[in-house]
């Protein structure tokens, strides 16, 4: 699950959370997790500006299958500060934190943040809306400026069939 909101300082926080709960007792090398207790409970919070640039990041693992190991990687994700969620973020994320450089689950959660950011921005009025192209156009196939969807809902920005 992801949530995003604008802060009082004009920046945006986007949070993601993963909770892995089984409906049966789960035997782990670190012990038995009773049914209903999380095997994983992890969350990330990224602070970005309107352009999508990462200003801060937190990654925490509150419940993990290997206590004393899994939760140590969180601070390493600060290497992502300065990257842009809307410009090649997934590749840069993988290059920086993929495989043994990070936690698979945290890295996967962060991989969905560009989508969460776009959805956070989609409902907000922009200062430049009167003069510039709406933020969401040319960010997916349905909203490509040559699409039927844009012709129908954003006729001013329609550029004809591809």
Q: Which helix (H) or strand (E) segment is 118 a member of?
A: helix 113-122
Residue spans of alpha helices (H) in 49-103: 89-97
pLDDT digits (tens, 9 = 90+) for 25-64: 999 999 999 999 999 999 999 999 999 999 999 999 999 9
pLDDT of 124 higher than 80: no
Q: Are residues 22 and 95 in the same domain?
A: yes
Q: Are residues 109 and 162 in the same domain?
A: no
Q: Are residues 95 and 154 in the same domain?
A: no
The domain tally of the chain equals 2
Q: Are residues 116 and 156 in the same domain?
A: no
Is the distance from CB of 32 to CB of 46 less than 8 angstroms? no
Q: Are residues 84 and 150 in the same domain?
A: no
Name the pLDDT band for 129 (thresholds 50, 70, 90).
low
Q: Are residues 117 and 140 in the same domain?
A: no
**Spatial distance between the Cα atoms of 71 and 60, rounded to a whole number of angstroms:** 7
**Spatial distance between the Cα atoms of 30 and 7, rounded to a whole number of angstroms:** 40
Q: Which helix (H) or strand (E) segment is 111 a member of?
A: helix 104-111
Bridge pairing between strands 12-21 and 38-48: antiparallel
Q: What is the pLDDT of residue 137?
A: 86
| CATH code, domain with 53 | 3.30.390
- The arithmetic mean of pLDDT across residues 11-33, rounded, is 95
- For the chain, report the end-to-end CA distance as a whole number of angstroms: 35
Q: Are residues 54 and 95 in the same domain?
A: yes
pLDDT digits (tens, 9 = 90+) for 67-109: 888 889 999 999 999 999 999 999 999 999 999 999 999 999 9
Q: Are residues 117 and 136 in the same domain?
A: no
Bridge pairing between strands 26-28 and 31-33: antiparallel
Q: Are residues 62 and 98 in the same domain?
A: yes
**Spatial distance between the Cα atoms of 99 and 151, rounded to a whole number of angstroms:** 43
Is the distance from CB of 122 to CB of 135 less than 8 angstroms? yes
Q: What is the pTM for the complete model shown?
A: 0.81
Q: Are residues 29 and 47 in the same domain?
A: yes
Boundaries of domain holding 140:
130-162
Q: Are residues 120 and 136 in the same domain?
A: no
pLDDT of 161 higher than 80: no
């Amino acid at each position: 699950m992801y949530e995003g909101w604008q802060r009082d300082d004009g920046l945006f926080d986007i949070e993601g959370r993963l909770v892995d709960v089984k409906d049966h007792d789960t035997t782990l090398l670190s012990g038995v997790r009773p049914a209903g207790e999380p095997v994983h409970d992890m969350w990330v919070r990224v602070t970005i500006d309107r352009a999508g640039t990462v200003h801060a990041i937190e990654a925490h693992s509150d419940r993990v299958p290997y206590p004393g190991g899994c939760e140590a990687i969180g601070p390493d994700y600060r290497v992502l500060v300065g990257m842009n969620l809307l410009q090649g973020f997934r590749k840069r994320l993988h290059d920086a934190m993929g495989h043994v450089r990070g936690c698979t689950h945290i890295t996967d959660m962060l991989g969905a943040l560009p989508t969460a950011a776009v959805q956070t921005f989609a409902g907000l009025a922009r200062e430049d809306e009167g003069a510039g192209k709406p933020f969401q156009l040319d960010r997916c196939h349905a909203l490509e400026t040559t699409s039927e969807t844009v012709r129908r809902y954003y006729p001013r920005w329609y550029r004809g069939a591809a």
